[in-house]
Amino acid sequence: MNKVELAYFGLCSLIALLGAVVTVGAKNPIRGAMGLLSTIIGIAGLYLMLAAEFLAAIQLLVYAGAVVILFLFVIMLLGPSAQSKRDARGAVARYVGAAALLVSGLGAMALVMRTKSVTPTALPAVPPQFGTIESIGHELFSTALVPFELSGALLLVAVIGAVAVARGKQVDPTLLPAADAKSSQTSAPTAGQTKEARS
Amino acid sequence: MNSGLFLGLSPLLVVSLGGLLLMVAEAFSKRRVDETSDDRDAGPSSELSLGTAVTLLAGAVFAAAIWFVGPEKLEGASSVAPWVIVDRFTLFFSFVLCLGGALAALLAGGYLPEHRLDRGEFYPLIIFSTVGAMILASAGDLLSLFLGLETMSLGVYAMVGFRRASLRSTEAAVKYFLLGSFAAALLLYGGALLYGATGHTDLAGIREAIANMQPGKGSNFALVITAAVLIIVGLAFKVSAVPFHMWTPDAYEGAPTPTTTYMAVAVKCAAFATMLRVLIGAFGEGGLESWAAGWPPVVALLAVLTMTVANLVAGQQESVKRMLAYSSIAHAGYVLVGVVATMRAGGDAQGSVMFYLLTYTVSTVGAFGALILMGSRGAEAVSYEDLAGVGKRHPAAGFAFSLFLLSLAGVPPTAGFFGKLYIVKASIGAGLYPLAIILLLNSVISAYYYLRVMVYMYMREPAPGAPIAKPMRSGYVATALVVAGVLVLVLGLWPTTSLQIAVEAALATR
């Protein structure tokens, strides 16, 4: 990796990581969505560096172009209620969890760094037409035909699942016992209670 | 054309095709949900439930047929390797998964109309989740493994949230979805690191690359270990091993009971199949399989924690459904003991794990099915009090529930007894005496909460004025219970044949 590549890698990673931090940490959901957008753009930049131009373009089109816009629509439809209230419950647990994750991440990184030269030689060299639409199409319909077909099943199940969840009835909160939503740990509903809303 | 290939993939193809046909049939069917009607046969369940069960059983029959032909004789079936591997291991799990799915579909045929959830989407979800589970069990490459995992999980997420009118069901679905996606992401991250370290995504190639690696400076061994940790954590989430079990009780309790059955049976079996394939297929060499520097102590720790925590907490539950959820976590712990034993005792131990999964499948389907049978519209049996005196008022239902609980507790002559026996035998054969002792102690603890259900059913009377559970009338649930009951007894009385089959299947991966 020469110096220009290294600088480009650092820039893209920085954009992606900062965006991720903003996504997780922002109180304002719009700001969170914008953070997600920046993460996606940073990752698209990294794909470019890996000679995966098609993937980078798709990343921008689908994620930045469609998914984030969809998020923004939903946030705007929800209006002010999309803003989460300050929630002090479980704050300690959250910080402990974040710290544990950080420590284990750093530990793994240290483990990898300690064994100095991680040789990238295991990976085969990239052919010149790698990452173009033609070569991806060729790959999809020859070597990777089976996973390609399997992803059909994945998409189908996702569509049916979306229909199944969307077709269900809406919740009528007046019919729910107040305890039901919160303390599923302790409350054991008995047969007589109509614990579920059946409006 | 290549008939061997199509025959080899026939369990997958038959189930997928049947699922597509049923979807078309549902779309053109006149049967629609009528929320006001009391006619339980009017909804789509009355035809789809049986169709789904038949489709999945056809998949199981095809798997059995290929078993007898011999998968190694099918020319061309290896052309889809390593994406999908057609061997005896795959066939065994295809059979178990299809059986579990078919029984869950029959339970749904009774449950959904009874509780006004009769929407046709449930059945394609079961079928295609099973397709995903079968892909997962047969995957010899991290890419198809991930695709199978996601196919299975997405269907199950939707099935958990199927009761949209219930906040609890929605909560369960969201919890399961978030944690499940997180686990899948960890697994994927581990796979990416593994590819970076070895240059392979197929399990055989990874194994070879790891075996040729010299631990120490200048090698990718640290990367491999990091990847192995991430992959084990991801799989532990899916089999709900402690401490990655937090989602399980809530998801199992909030989901409609047929979904819970399906999760406890098919999802868990498929996750264990993957675990065996990955731990033995990819991490079976190069020091990773050793007790000093590999996965066995990690998995052993998971097993001990899982068994002990789950059994202790299960005893304190007031809801039978939640108790069964914790019991399924505990059973995952017993299976993990067998998984640890596989690294020393080899094929026999792996066979005992697979036999255990079979016995666990039939016993769990039966236990949840009996719980479904105990409740009816507006009066779902959930807590111990609901079941008070049911055994006297409805002897057949009480007997069925008792049989399956005894099998889960591991009492002879039921299937569960031999399942546990072989796992204990395997762990003693591998020299893992502490694990075997902890397993036995835990099954003693577990007897407490299984027998408590029977105490309530036979020796308690409902308090005056308390709600009384009225068992539902459903031919589908009854059929599923009879099939599961017969299998529990057959596997308990004549376990050797099926154990031999399991061992033979296990040897295919070695």
Model pLDDT for residues A138-147, shown as the tens digit of each residue: 988 988 899 9
Distance from CA of B84 to the nearest CA of A (A): 8
Query: Is A188's CB within 8 Å of B383's CB?
Result: yes
pLDDT at A198 over 50: no
Per-residue pLDDT band at A183 (split at 50, 70, 90)? very low
Distance from CA of B387 to the nearest CA of A (A): 9
Per-residue pLDDT band at B38 (split at 50, 70, 90)? low
Per-residue pLDDT band at B509 (split at 50, 70, 90)? confident
Q: Is A122 on the interface with B (CB under 8 A)?
A: yes
- B503 vs B355: CA distance, rounded Å: 8
Q: How many A-B residue pairs are in contact by the CB < 8 A criterion?
A: 175
DSSP state of B29: -
Residue of A157, A175, A184 to mutate for B, most B C-beta atoms under 10 A: A157
Query: Is A160's CB within 8 Å of B170's CB?
Result: no
DSSP state of B281: I
Tokens read off for B5: 């290939």
Residue of B6, B130, B166 to mutate for A, most A C-beta atoms under 10 A: B166
Quick count: other Cβ atoms within 10 Å of Cβ B70? 9
Peptide bond preceding B243 in cis form (omega within 30 of 0): yes
Find the helix packing angle between B495-507 and B415-429, rounded to 10°: 50
pLDDT tens-place string over residues B175-196? 999 999 999 999 999 999 899 8
Cα dist from B356 to B336, B367, B424, whole Å: 11, 16, 11
Mean pLDDT value across chain A: 79
Please give the single-letter amino acid code of residue B489: L
Query: Is B196's CB within 8 Å of A190's CB?
Result: no
pLDDT tens-place string over residues B396-424? 999 999 999 999 999 988 999 999 999 99
- pLDDT number for residue A117: 56
Per CB-CB distance under 8 Å, the chain B contacts of A194 are 378
Q: Which of A24-33, B249-258, B381-390 has the highest mean pLDDT?
A: B249-258
pLDDT at B73 over 80: yes
Among 1.20.120.1200, 1.20.1260.10, 3.30.420.340, 1.10.1660.10, what is the CATH number of A1-83?
A: 1.20.120.1200
Please give the single-letter amino acid code of residue B89: F
pLDDT at B172 over 50: yes
Question: Tokens 């196919």 identify what position?
Answer: B151
Facing B151 at nearest CB: one of A108, A157, A184: A157
Please compute the mean of the pLDDT values over residues B314-337 and round it to a whole number.
93
Per CB-CB distance under 8 Å, the chain B contacts of A157 are 125, 128-129, 131-132, 151, 154-155
Q: The complex's ipTM? A: 0.90
Burial class of residue A166, CB neighbours in 10 A (0-12, 13-18, 19+):
exposed
- pLDDT number for residue A90: 73
Q: Is A159 on the interface with B (CB under 8 A)?
A: no
Query: Is A197's CB within 8 Å of B165's CB?
Result: yes
Distance from CA of A24 to the nearest CA of B (A): 14
- What are the residues facing B202 on neighbouring strands? B141
Contacts of B344 (CB under 8 A, 6+ apart): B429, B430, B431, B432
Tokens read off for B265: 């049976």
Where does residue B216 fall: left (phi above 0), alpha (psi -120 to 50 degrees), or beta otherwise?
left
Q: Which of B206-210, B261-265, B467-471 has the lowest mean pLDDT?
A: B467-471
Quick count: other Cβ atoms within 10 Å of Cβ A101? 10
pLDDT at B360 over 80: yes
SS3 assignment, position B56: helix
Handedness of CA B460, B463, B469, B471 (dihedral sign): positive
Query: Is A191's CB within 8 Å of B386's CB?
Result: yes
Cα dist from B26 to A94, A182, B20, B126, B155, whole Å: 46, 37, 10, 14, 18
Query: Is A160's CB within 8 Å of B216's CB?
Result: no
Cβ pair B145, B136 in contact under 8 A: yes
Facing A180 at nearest CB: one of B129, B167, B209: B167
Q: What are the residue boundaries of the structural domains of chain A, listed by start?
A: 1-83, 171-199
What pTM does this model have? 0.90
Contacts of B416 (CB under 8 A, 6+ apart): B359, B360, B363, B406, B407, B408, B409, B410, B488, B492
pLDDT tens-place string over residues A2-51? 889 899 999 999 999 999 999 988 888 889 999 999 999 999 999 998 88
Q: Which of A149-153, B94-98, B323-327, B388-392 has the lowest mean pLDDT?
A: B388-392
Tokens read off for B362: 């039939």
DSSP state of B141: B
Return the higher-pLDDT residue of B362 and B42: B362
Helix boundaries (H) for B80-166: 88-114, 122-138, 142-160
- pLDDT number for residue A194: 39
Which residues 164-183 of A have a C-beta within 8 angstroms of B? Answer: 164-165, 167-172, 176, 180-181
Mean pLDDT value across chain B: 89
- pLDDT number for residue A180: 43
Query: Is A198's CB within 8 Å of B168's CB?
Result: no
Q: For chain B, what is the largest distance between any 2 Cα atoms, rounded to a whole number of angstroms?
A: 75
Q: Is B197 on the interface with A (CB under 8 A)?
A: yes
Q: Could you tell me what percent of chain B has a pLDDT over 70? A: 97
- pLDDT number for residue B108: 94
Q: What are the residue boundaries of the structural domains of chain B, listed by start?
A: 295-510
pLDDT tens-place string over residues B445-491? 999 999 999 999 998 888 777 777 788 888 899 999 999 999 999 99
Facing A196 at nearest CB: one of B121, B151, B163: B163
Q: Could you tell me which of A163, A162, A174 has the C-alpha nearest to residue A199?
A: A174
- B326 vs B288: CA distance, rounded Å: 31
Query: Is A154's CB within 8 Å of B196's CB?
Result: no
Return the higher-pLDDT residue of B36 and A92: A92
Please compute the mean of the pLDDT values over residues B240-267 and round it to a whole number.
93
